[in-house]
Amino acid sequence: MMFCPKCGSLLKTKLERGKTVMYCSCGFSSKNVDNTEIHEKVEVETKEVEIVDSDVEAYPKVDAKCNKCENDKAYFWLVQTRAGDEPETKFFKCTKCSHTWRENN
């Protein structure tokens, strides 16, 4: 990259009468650009993708009886399904059969 010697801004290129010219918004222009090399470097950061088992649940377990298999443990989470001044809905998912149900407050 080249910078303007007058104001320090980044110089831009344009084609003027068949020659490449470097210019600045302050009025500076450089006619000797033919021997100037322009380099561009793009850095790509790669990250490894972490694979998580589908059996892992991030929700807390509570004591709740499943209506389908009679298991007494379930995961739960809260979702605001109605207006903001209404209580949230509690959802449960059985730890044994994955049956999902909800409880309105």
Q: Using a CB cutoff of 8 Å and minimum separation of 24, what contacts does 97-100 make?
A: 97/66, 97/68, 97/69, 97/71, 99/66, 99/67, 99/68, 99/69
Integer Cα distance of 95 and 72 in angstroms: 9
Q: Are 72 and 65 in contact (CB under 8 A)?
A: yes
Active site residue 48: no
Q: Which of 72, 85, 88, 103 is catalytic?
A: 85
Identity of residue 103: E
Active site residue 55: no
Closest CA to 9 of 31, 24, 29, 20: 24
Q: Which of 16, 57, 72, 86 is catalytic?
A: 86
* Catalytic residue positions, numbered: 85-86
